[in-house]
């Protein structure tokens, strides 16, 4: 689950279940952690305006702060 200083995360989508992430021991690639402002205008627009059906996109202007507030343990 931990590889040096990196946590290994697995993404799964099983129809008709919702999308989910979990920790894993499987190998994979490293992805850079970037800030919202580092995304291109096109990428931010896609996350903000694309319909993902019933999926709730947590990384967009409309959902991000409320998701952080909900996850905050204190």
Domain segments of the chain as ranges = 2-71
Tell me whether residue 44 is exposed, middle or buried, using C-beta atoms within 10 angstroms of its C-beta: 0 to 12, 13 to 18, 19 or more: middle
Q: For residue 1, what pLDDT band results from cuts at 50, 70 and 90?
A: low
- The rounded distance, in Å, linking the Cα atoms of 63 and 53 is 15
3-state secondary structure of 69: helix
pLDDT digits 0-9 by tens, 16-68 = 767 788 899 888 888 888 888 899 999 999 999 999 888 788 889 998 888 88
In this prediction, residue 19 carries a pLDDT of 75
């Amino acid at each position: 689950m931990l590889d040096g200083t990196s946590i290994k995360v697995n993404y799964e989508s099983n129809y008709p279940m919702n999308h989910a992430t979990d920790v894993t021991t499987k190998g994979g690639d490293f992805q850079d952690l970037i800030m919202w402002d580092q995304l291109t205008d096109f990428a931010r627009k896609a996350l903000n305006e694309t319909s993902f059906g019933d999926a709730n996109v947590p990384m967009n202007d409309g959902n991000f702060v409320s998701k952080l507030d909900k996850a905050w343990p204190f």
